[in-house]
Amino acid sequence: MAGSDLSDLKEVVSVFLKMGFTAFGGPAAHVSIMHDEVVKRRKWLDEGQFLDLLGATNLIPGPNSTEMAIHLGYLRAGWKGFVAGGVCFVAPATLIVLGLAWLYSRMQSLPQAGFLLYGIKPVVIAIILQALWSLGRKAVRDLFLALVFLLVFGLYFLGVNEILLLFGGGLLVMLVRNWRRLTNTPAGLWLLALGGLPAAAATAAVPYSLGLLFLTFLKIGSVMYGTGYVLLAFLRSDFVVRYGWLTDQQLLDAIAIGQVTPGPLFTTATFIGYQLGGVPAALLATLAIFLPSFVYVALSNPLIPRLRSSPWFGALLDGVNVSALGLMAAVTWQIGRASLVDPLTIMIALLSLVLMLRFKISSTWLIGAGAIIGILYTFLLQR
């Protein structure tokens, strides 16, 4: 049962503030750190309870590690811990990204800043490829799921809406896996047909507004399954293709900044908001993309025992996960062409990938090395 003692709340604040400043490496690393901190060290819950919470976060949209922080905060200190766990995990990364966004806005026109990111971008591509490989081995477990992955990958390039691809893939797997449980329900097949509807093509730039910025990030936070890297597909579809507010290069810069900082990759929204509208837009974008996670955790927490045993939700999750990987692969192909521009960047990406897969080198160290290579490259060119 959730506690409400002040000492428990202070403990939640202390644990997740520390993680917010030091948890590098992405969702899988964040969850591992939380497991060590709250299961092994502090004994807040046992292994089975932790796995139940982790499974629940995979059944709802949003950043898994942030949702785990919210769940764990609630378990330890009730509704106050619910808020404190999420806010304390997100706030440090938000402040750090906000500071880097301020620096970027003043340095991006300088060669030094460009070459700094020149070395980081190939590492980001390698990190995404490594995540695809690691997650793909777990998610693509049979031929049918492999076919769904390829279908989503191909339809993305034909202009099909990324949200429809996610839910269409999830519904397809759910219905096929549970076909014998279905009676004559044409509504299910009608829902599948939605997956084939193309997204509206962008014909002209959309004027920037705070309201549209908020609603767009609220939508992304409300529907995005998978890891933080699937965020690339949503951001590109809206801010590059539909609205014309960002270029592919600016989008990759935003992802690179999000990757080089601790905490959730969703704080990329902070960076994008700042570039488009300063501090107010940065804070509004951050609020919008994380707000749905708090709502979903509040709604799903009492349902965890039922969800984990449901064949319907289990199949839906399988389909959504493999569709998310298909989107990741498609967007990685697109941004990779903009980042791997010469033999050096290709070599950086390949070496980074080998070091992560073979020697388990931390992505944080590789990003730092990429930044150093970019700076040295600048120095040599200027001589």
3 state SS for 198-225: ECCCCCCCCCCCHHHHHHHHHHHHHHCC
Quick check: is 162 in a domain?
yes
Find all residues with CB under 8 Å of 155, minimum gap 6, and list them: 165, 195, 196
Quick check: is 361 in a domain?
yes
Q: Give the CA distances from residue 39 to residues 49, 67, 73, 211, 212, in Å, rounded to whole numbers and listed in that order.
A: 9, 17, 13, 41, 41
Distance of alpha carbon 233 from alpha carbon 332, whole angstroms: 9
pLDDT at 248: 84
Using alpha carbons, select from 294, 159, 147, 290 the residue that is nearest to residue 228: 290
Residue-range definition of the domain harbouring residue 248: 109-292+301-382
What is the domain count for the chain? Answer: 1
Continuous segment of H or E residues that includes residue 168: helix 162-177
Quick check: is 309 in a domain?
yes
Distance of alpha carbon 122 from alpha carbon 350, whole angstroms: 9
CA angle at residue 342 from 340 to 344, to 5 degrees? 90
pLDDT by residue (tens digit) across 14-33?
999 988 887 765 676 688 77
Quick check: is 181 in a domain?
yes
Distance of alpha carbon 329 from alpha carbon 102, whole angstroms: 31
pLDDT at 149: 93
The chain-wide mean pLDDT, for the chain, equals 82
pLDDT by residue (tens digit) across 323-347?
878 888 887 888 788 788 889 999 9
23: left (phi over 0), alpha (psi -120 to 50) or beta: beta
Q: pLDDT exceeding 90 applies to what percent of the chain?
A: 32
User: What's the mean pLDDT in 151-159?
Assistant: 91
Distance of alpha carbon 226 from alpha carbon 145, whole angstroms: 15
Quick check: is 113 in a domain?
yes
Q: How many residues does the chain have?
A: 383
Quick check: is 316 in a domain?
yes
Quick check: is 214 in a domain?
yes
Quick check: is 42 in a domain?
no
Provide the whole-model pTM. 0.68
